[in-house]
Chain A
Amino acid sequence: MSSPGTISLKDQFLNGIIKENTIFKLALSLCPSIAVTNNLKNGIFMGAAVLFVQVMVNSTISIIRKVIHPKVRLPIFMLVISGWVTVTQFMMAAYVPDVYSKVGLYIALIVAFASILARAEMFASKNTLLPSMADGLGMGIGFMFALTVISFFRELVGKATLTIPTGLATSYVVTLMDTKPLLIMILPAGGFLAVGILMAFFNWIDLRYKKGGHASH
């Protein structure tokens, strides 16, 4: 209570990770959550790209929010977002070409992410730089966390390996089991199945938590 500014900043940061997790709670921006998550490394890098775009867009918009005329705000937001996405695209093509060759199309499509536009409209256009950055960071990390969990699960079950990135261009593949893996998990159909099961799992935790709360009352 002593310094409400820092508390709300922390809350804003945590909000995106837990309460309003883009994928598991809001069910937005689902396309890449299935498309790029058959390999842990791709999932992490895609998450990082979204994190970067989200933070930069939020900061840019909160800086220029006073000069944007409200009637043309949406086209301006789109312009800012697509500008930062183009930057990300070039950076990934330059530094992580092997990942980029697989997830390139989905990087370009970050432009159409409802979650990024929604944060720009609902939060960054009304708040100052610091809370906007915290909000972007939380939302982005929440997204990255979801992608990491999904791709961890899918690669583990589908290939029985884990591709852990150790640097920009290097990665270390761990083989965990010698048994025959469930191939369906790395196929397109398995992506939907994995997200469905994980969502149900988070719902189940929610339900149990609520029941526990009622019992203690």
Chain B
Amino acid sequence: MSSDFTRLFELIVSASLINNFVFTKFLGLCIFFGVSKKMETAVGMSITFTSVMMISAALSWIVFNKILVPLDISFLEIIVFIGIIAGLVQTSDTIMRKTAPGLYYKLGIYLALISTNCIILAVPLENAAEKYSFIESLAFGFGSGIGFALALIIMASIREKLELAEVPAPFKGLPMAFVITSLIALAFTGFSGLITL
């Protein structure tokens, strides 16, 4: 039993730090550069993202292993997963608007953005390719969500300071953000080899 927990812990650490989706697999960059301008939006996005990620990982695991694999139609995985995610986002949008309007006004906008985030599609695809068990899929989804949150929050805190810095004219805005990301990515390579799965 303890080895199971070690394995889950390893999965979470590896998904969030070592194989961080933003810095080593370059996924979710549009959202990463889009919402990391202010700390508040970064935190809101992180919370919404991690919860949607775990639910979609669970749902797509069930659909993939209980429907697609027995029927031998796993080549439809892309279409099915994107359908699940779009449906999930739409449903939670409607439910949140009716039951928790306060929360909806804070986080609703991020919810709509999430369906265009490639990490949210990459996690179910990876889960299916690696043949993770149900709990492992959840852990992988959670770790990826935490990793994305970490990246967003680091970036947002740097960019808030950057507002006051003097940047050469051609580098203003996005190019500078890219250069900073490159430096953070360089720092994250320090985590490689921390755990070998």
| Residues of chain A at the chain B interface (Cβ within 8 Å) | 27-32, 34-35, 74-75, 78-79, 82-83, 85-86, 89-90, 105, 108-109, 111-112, 114, 117, 184, 187-193, 195-197, 199-201, 203-204, 207
Known: A196-B175, A196-B179, A203-B175. A188 touches B79 (CB 8 A): no
- Cα separation A118 to B25 with both chains bound (whole Å): 24
Q: Is B26's CB under 8 angstroms from A196's CB?
A: no
**Does the CB pair A35–B25 fall under 8 Å?**
yes
Which 4 pairs show the lowest CB-CB distances between chains A and B? A196-B178, A192-B182, A204-B170, A200-B175
Asked if residues B29 and A196 are in contact (CB atoms below 8 Å), the reply is no
Q: Are B79 and A109 in contact (CB under 8 A)?
A: no
- Compute how far the CA of A117 lies from the CA of B152 in the bound complex, rounded to whole angstroms: 25
Question: At the interface, yes or no: B169 with Cβ under 8 Å from chain A?
Answer: yes
- Can you list 24 contacts pairing A with B, beta carbon distance less than 8 Å? A27-B33, A31-B26, A34-B26, A75-B83, A75-B86, A82-B79, A86-B78, A105-B125, A108-B121, A109-B125, A111-B78, A112-B82, A112-B117, A188-B24, A188-B189, A189-B185, A189-B189, A192-B179, A192-B182, A192-B185, A195-B178, A196-B174, A196-B178, A196-B181
Contact status A191-B78, CB under 8 Å: no
Please report the C-alpha to C-alpha distance between residue A108 and residue B82 in the assembled complex, in whole angstroms: 11
Chain B residues, Cβ within 8 Å of A197: 175, 179
CB-defined interface of B92-109 with A at 8 Å, one 1/0 digit per residue?
000000000000000000
Choice from A30, A192, A199, A207 contacting B30 with Cβ under 8 Å: A30
1/0 contact string of B78-89 vs chain A (CB within 8 Å): 110011001000
Assuming the contacts A86-B79, A112-B118, A187-B189, asked whether A29 and B179 have C-beta atoms less than 8 A apart, the reply is: no
Distance A86 CA – B79 CA, assembled complex (angstroms)? 8
Cα–Cα, bound, A193→B23 (Å): 12
Q: What residues of A have a CB within 8 angstroms of the CB of B78 in the complex?
A: 82, 85-86, 89, 108, 111
Binding site for A on B (CB under 8 A): 23-30, 33, 75-76, 78-79, 82-83, 86, 116-118, 120-122, 125-126, 168-172, 174-179, 181-183, 185-186, 189
Contact A114 B189 (CB under 8 A): no
- Given A28-B30, A189-B189, A200-B170, are A108 and B125 neighbors across the interface (CB < 8 Å)? yes
User: How far apart are the CA atoms of A138 and B89 in the complex, in Å?
Assistant: 32
- For residue A127, give the distance in angstroms from its CB to the closest CB of chain B: 23
Q: Taking each of A78, A79, A108, A204, which has the highest tally of chain B beta carbons within 10 Å of its own beta carbon?
A: A108
